[in-house]
């Protein structure tokens, strides 16, 4: 089975060790899962390989004659910074392995090692490479002109489900058919309504968005349909309604299910007759608008049946973010760039761990919740790189998938997963506050340095470069 780095190609791994026995054994372990495994018996030979082949991951022994693993690591970091390095060391050389991580190694493995331990670390490393390459691709795309039309310029998505929605918009937009947009709160229903307007023949006219739940019944009726002087207390002059003022354009009725029953009845007549009767008026006024509306999927029963049939000639559902998790990374990248520019903070980027943190959450608040989390992370981040420690999700502990839906796992599995989640977030915060100084972080936590290293190793936590002290 060939491992992939996520850019359409198979991963290439280089193993470096002066021991023929170790080199052969480690290569055999890796070839169980990865097909492109290269071998070198010295650091000098490894550099020759690296000069002619793009290598994704290097696994090197530290103690080698001639150029040792630390020097090889430094040469790789300077010449091929995108290549990750895992160092292999004996138990007596743990301090050297830690030194290697301070110099930029991805992780270390102590001898004697178990095959599954090596495979797990390699898998994690290749996932990191995949995420970082995807982030670079997204940032590059963001700098270039978008491939979508202007109608979709404000909508960031790469999932098939959202592109199916885009295809639907392109088909229905040129018509005047009413469209009912369904979806959970925070999924971007108004953005889709605006895209329909922009793709339609009415794009040069007004797009009028109205929140049907924002106004009390009498005021909403007067705003929608207009009123005549003296129709009610405070009506000191005639006023044209919003439906009349949007002539030639598009009217978007958000939260249509929350509209009072009396207004729903008048709206039905306006759609059927193409005219409105102002409050207190005797003569109807013609209107020329296209109706778009939106509601949460669970509130359809609150819409009059006859009005529902009028509004839902065409119907589209916006999938929740948890059903299109491949959109999390591009959306997060988009929001990072938006808020870094808005707050004048200079360039910001998401680390691989931050993307992993975002991608492991189910986002009950959908895109709106993700935007809020990223906005906070941009503000609190200490440098250009936003780390996992900067990601704070208010409802995270109560929204874990294994606790909120489906079959519950065994108690010990659930406990271990919860403990791992806690340890990763806690240690990330410790390392951030201690600038990567593990001894200081251990003192802050009230545990030994060895215990903290044990937690970091079990959870595949490494110190980010910006945490290191020169």
Domains of the chain: which residue ranges? Answer: 12-143, 160-318, 322-467
Omega before 112 within 30 of 0, i.e. cis: yes
Model pTM score: 0.56
Q: Taking a C-beta distance cutoff of 8 angstroms, is the pair 80, 50 a contact? A: yes
160-318 and 322-467 have identical folds:
no
**Which residue shows structure tokens 């039309």?**
149
pLDDT of the residue at 26: 92
Where does the pLDDT of residue 426 fall: very low under 50, low under 70, confident under 90, or very high at 90 and above? Answer: confident
Interatomic CA distance for residues 361 and 370, integer angstroms: 10
Band of residue 27 on the pLDDT scale cut at 50, 70, 90: very high
CB 187 within 8 A of CB 364: no
pLDDT at 132: 75
Distance CA 273, CA 120 (A): 66
147, containing H or E segment:
none
Nearest Cα neighbor of 292 from 259, 253, 263, 266 is 253
**pLDDT recorded at residue 405:** 46
Laid out side by side, the sheet with 179-182 consists of: 207-211, 250-254, 290-295, 179-182, 314-317
For the chain, give percent helix, strand, coil, nearest 5: 50, 15, 35
Mean pLDDT across the stretch 212-234?
82
Q: How confident is the model at residue 290 (pLDDT cuts 50, 70, 90)?
A: very high
Share the mean pLDDT of the chain.
84
Q: Above 70 in pLDDT, residue 146?
A: no
CA distances to 10, 21, 28, 114, 122 from 35, rounded to whole Å, are 8, 20, 10, 20, 13
- Contacts of residue 406, defined as CB under 8 A and 6 or more positions apart, other chains included, come to none
Topology given in CATH for the domain delimited by 160-318: Rossmann fold (3.40.50)
Read off the pLDDT band of 465 (50, 70, 90). very low
What's the mean pLDDT in 151-155? 71
- Multiple choice CATH, 322-467, 3.20.20.150, 1.10.8.60, 1.10.357.10, 2.40.110.10: 1.10.8.60
Query: Torsions phi, psi of 364, nearest 5?
Result: -65, -25
pLDDT band at 412 (very low <50, low <70, confident <90, very high): low
Q: What is the mean pLDDT of residues 180-209?
A: 93
Reading the block at residue 63, the tokens are 């103690």
Q: Which tokens belong to 87?
A: 């160092």
Q: In this structure, what is the dihedral angle of CA atoms 412, 416, 417, 421, given to the nearest 10 degrees?
A: 150
Q: How many CB atoms lie within 10 A of CB 263?
A: 20
**pLDDT for residue 410:** 61
Distance CA 394, CA 256 (A): 29
pLDDT for 413 equals 61
**Do residues 428 and 353 touch, judged by C-beta distance below 8 A?**
yes
Instruction: Give the mean pLDDT of 68-76.
Output: 90
Q: Where are the alpha helices (DSSP H) in 210-362?
A: 217-225, 242-245, 261-273, 305-311, 328-342, 352-359
Give the integer Cα–Cα distance in Å for 61 and 22.
10
**What's the fold here for domain 12-143?**
Rossmann fold (3.40.50)
pLDDT category of residue 190 using cuts at 50, 70 and 90: very high
Residue 267 has pLDDT above 80, yes or no: yes
pLDDT at 442: 84
Helix (H, G, I), strand (E, B) or coil at 17: coil
Q: What digits encode the pLDDT tens for the residues 292-313? A: 999 987 888 899 999 999 999 9
Gyration radius of the chain over CA positions: 29
What pLDDT does 96 receive? Answer: 75
Name the 3-class secondary structure at 12.
strand
Residue 315: the pLDDT is 95
pLDDT mean over 165-190 = 94
Is residue 8's pLDDT more than 50? no
Instruction: For 318-337, write each residue's pLDDT tens digit.
Output: 999 999 999 999 999 999 99
Q: What is the mean pLDDT of residues 212-238?
A: 82
Provide mean pLDDT across the span 278-301: 89
Share of the chain above pLDDT 90, in %: 39
- 440 in helix, strand or coil? helix
| Mean pLDDT (whole number) for 199-221 | 87
Mean pLDDT of 28-43: 92
CA nearest to 12, candidates 20, 4, 21, 1: 4
Mean local confidence (pLDDT), 233-257 = 88
The count of residues in the chain is 470
pLDDT tens digits, residue range 360-374? 899 999 999 999 999
Per-residue model confidence as pLDDT tens digits over 92-143: 566 777 778 778 888 888 888 888 888 988 988 888 888 777 766 765 555 4
Answer yes or no: are the C-beta atoms of 316 and 168 closer than 8 Å. yes
Q: How confident is the model at residue 11 (pLDDT cuts 50, 70, 90)?
A: confident
**Neighbouring residues of 448: CB distance < 8 A, sequence distance ≥ 6:** 442
Residue 174 has pLDDT above 70, yes or no: yes
**Over 60: is that where the pLDDT of 9 sits?**
no
């Amino acid at each position: 089975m060939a491992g992939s780095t996520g850019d359409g190609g198979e991963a290439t791994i280089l193993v470096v060790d002066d021991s023929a026995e170790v080199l052969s054994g480690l290569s055999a372990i890796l070839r169980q899962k990865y097909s492109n495994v290269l071998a070198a018996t010295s650091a000098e030979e490894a550099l020759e390989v690296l000069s002619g082949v793009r290598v994704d991951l290097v696994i090197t022994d530290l103690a080698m004659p001639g150029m040792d693993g630390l020097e090889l690591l430094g040469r790789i970091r300077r010449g091929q910074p995108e290549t990750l390095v895992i160092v292999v060391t004996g138990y007596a050389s743990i301090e050297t392995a830690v030194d290697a991580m301070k110099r930029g190694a991805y992780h270390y493995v102590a001898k004697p090692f178990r095959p599954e331990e090596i495979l797990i670390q390699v898998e994690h490393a290749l996932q990191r490479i995949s995420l970082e390459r995807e982030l670079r691709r997204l940032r590059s795309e963001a700098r270039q002109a978008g491939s979508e039309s202007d109608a979709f310029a404000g909508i960031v998505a790469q999932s098939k489900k959202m592109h199916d929605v885009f295809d639907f918009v392109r088909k229905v937009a040129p018509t005047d058919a009413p469209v009912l947009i369904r979806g959970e709160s925070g999924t971007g229903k108004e953005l889709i309504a605006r895209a329909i307007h922009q793709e339609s023949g009415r794009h040069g006219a007004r797009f009028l968005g109205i929140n049907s739940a924002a106004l009390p019944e009498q005021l909403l009726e007067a705003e929608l349909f207009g009123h005549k002087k003296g129709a009610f207390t405070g009506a000191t002059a005639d006023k044209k309604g919003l439906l009349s003022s949007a002539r030639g354009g598009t009217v978007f009725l958000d939260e249509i299910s929350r509209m009072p029953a009396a207004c729903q009845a008048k709206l039905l007549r306006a759609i059927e007759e193409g005219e409105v009767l102002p409050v207190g008026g005797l003569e109807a006024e013609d209107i020329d608008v296209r109706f778009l509306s939106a509601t949460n999927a669970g509130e359809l029963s609150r819409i009059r049946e006859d009005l529902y049939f009028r509004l839902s000639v065409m119907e589209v559902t916006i999938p929740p973010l948890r059903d299109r998790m491949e959109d999390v990374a591009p959306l997060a990248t988009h929001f990072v760039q938006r808020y870094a520019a808005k707050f004048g903070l200079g360039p910001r980027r998401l680390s691989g761990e931050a993307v992993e943190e975002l991608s492991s959450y189910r986002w009950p608040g959908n895109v709106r919740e993700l935007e809020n989390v990223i906005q906070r992370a941009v503000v609190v981040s200490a440098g250009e790189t936003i780390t996992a420690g900067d990601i704070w999700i208010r409802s995270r502990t109560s929204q874990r998938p294994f606790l909120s839906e489906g079959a519950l796992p065994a108690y010990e599995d659930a406990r271990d997963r919860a403990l791992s989640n806690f340890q990763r977030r806690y240690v990330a915060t410790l390392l951030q506050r201690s600038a990567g100084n593990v001894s200081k972080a251990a003192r802050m936590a009230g545990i030994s340095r060895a215990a903290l290293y044990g937690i970091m190793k079990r959870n595949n936590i490494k110190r980010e470069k910006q945490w290191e002290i020169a």
